[in-house]
Amino acid sequence: MIGACKMTITVEIKNNYGYEKIYPACPISRKFAAIAGTKTLTERVIELIKGLGYTVQVEQTVREL
What confidence category does residue 2 fall into, taking pLDDT thresholds of 50, 70 and 90?
low
Which tens digit of pLDDT belongs to each residue from 28-52?
A: 999 999 999 999 999 999 999 999 9
Amino acid at 53: G
Q: How far apart (Å, rounded) are the C-alpha atoms in residues 7 and 30?
A: 14
For the cut 70, the answer to whether the pLDDT of residue 22 exceeds it is yes
What confidence category does residue 6 fall into, taking pLDDT thresholds of 50, 70 and 90?
confident
The whole-angstrom distance between residue 40's C-alpha and the CA centroid of its chain comes to 8
Q: How far apart (Å, rounded) are the C-alpha atoms in residues 49 and 60?
A: 20
pTM listed for this prediction: 0.80
Per the CB < 8 A criterion, the answer to whether 12 and 25 are in contact is yes
